[in-house]
Amino acid sequence: MAHLSRIWTLACATFTQLLRMRIMAFLAVFCVIVVAAGLGFAIINPEQQLKLLKDVAFGALQVFSVVMGICATALLLPRDLEDRTLYTVLAKPVPRLNYLLGKLLGVLMTIAVGMLVLDLALSLMLYLRQNLVFAQAVAALKAEGQDSPQAVAQLQAMVAQQGLGWNLQAGVLVIFLKSSVITAMTLMISCMASSTLFTMVIGFLATLCGHGQELIRETFLSGQGVALRQVWKTLLAVITPDLTLFDVTDAVINGQSLGMPALLGIAGMSLLYVLGYAMASHLLFVEKEL
C-alpha cells in the first residue's frame, strides 16, 4: 500500500505540474476545432454532415493524445533534473520504479482529462447536430411530399447509426489506449536519451513507424521465407508498437459497431505494451547516471 500511495502522490504531482505548463490552453485549441466542425458543413447531405463532424473530432482527439503523450513525457525527466526535483524525490527514498510509474500515471491522467473534455464537446455537438440534421431532413421530405412513414423511419435509423452512441465512446477509449502505449514508449526513450528534443524526435518517428508497420512489412519482408518473415514481424512489433491494431476510427465514423471481444483484445494488447515498456524503462533508469 505504501508503494501505491507513493505512485499516486507522484502521479498527482505530475498532473499538477503539467497543468501549470498551460496544457489547458493547448486543449482549448482542439475544443475550438470540434465546435467549429459542429457549426460548419451545412451544404451536404445529413449522413455526410455527421460523418464529417466525427472525422474532424476524432482527428483532433488523435493529434491531442499523441502530441500530449510524447511532448509531456519527454519534458518530465529533463525538467525534474533541471529543477533537482528528481534528487529530492529519490532521496526520500522512493524506488526508481515508483517514480517512473508515478510519472507515467500522471501523464495518462492528464491525457484522460483532456480527452474527456474533448469527448464531452464532441458528444454535445454531435447530439445537437443530429437533431438539427433530422429536423432539416424531415422538413425537406415534407417539402417534396416524400415524408412517408418508411422514409422518415429510414432517415431516423441513419441518424441513430451515425449519431451519438456508445460505439463513439468505444472509439474514444481505443484512442486513449493507443496514447497510453505511445506514452509508455516515450518514457522508455526518455530513460536512455540525453535531451528532450531527441526524445521527441525519436518518439514521433517510432509512432510514425508504428502506424506504418503494415507498409513496412509489405515493402521489406515480402521476399522473405515464412519463418524469417514472422521473426522480423515480431522484432518490428517489439521495437515499435504495432499501432495499426488501434485503427478502428474509420469503422466508428462509418457507424459500425465495435464488438466487446475486439475491444477487450485491444485493451489486453495495450496493457502488454505498457507493462513491457514500463519494465524496460525501469531497467534503463536503474542504470542511468543522474
User: Which pLDDT score is estimated for 181?
Assistant: 93
Question: What's the pLDDT score for residue 63?
Answer: 84
pLDDT at res. 127: 82
> What pLDDT shows up at residue 226?
63
- Gap between the Cα atoms of 226 and 222, Å rounded: 9
- Which residues in the chain land under pLDDT 70? 1-2, 22-44, 46, 86-87, 90-92, 147, 216-238, 288-290
Q: Residue 242 has what pLDDT?
A: 81
Contacts of 238 by beta carbon, 8 Å cutoff, 6+ apart: 276
Rg, C-alpha atoms of the chain: 22
* Burial tier of 93 (Cβ tally within 10 Å: 0-12, 13-18, 19+): exposed
C-alpha cell at 187: 518514457
Query: What pLDDT is attached to residue 72?
Result: 85
Please report the pLDDT score of residue 179 as a whole number: 92
Predicted local distance difference test score (pLDDT) of residue 218: 66
pTM to 2 decimals? 0.85
For 230-271, the pLDDT digits (tens) are 666 666 666 778 888 888 887 877 777 777 888 888 899 899
What residues contact residue 130 under an 8 Å CB cut-off, 6+ apart?
50, 159, 162, 163, 164
Contact 6, 94 (CB under 8 A): yes
pLDDT attached to residue 184: 93
**pLDDT value, residue 183:** 93
The rounded distance, in Å, linking the Cα atoms of 197 and 215 is 27
Could you tell me the residue ranges of all domains in the chain? Answer: 2-287
Query: For the residues of 58-84, what is the DSSP string, one character each?
Result: HHHHHHHHHHHHHHHHHHHHHHHHHHT
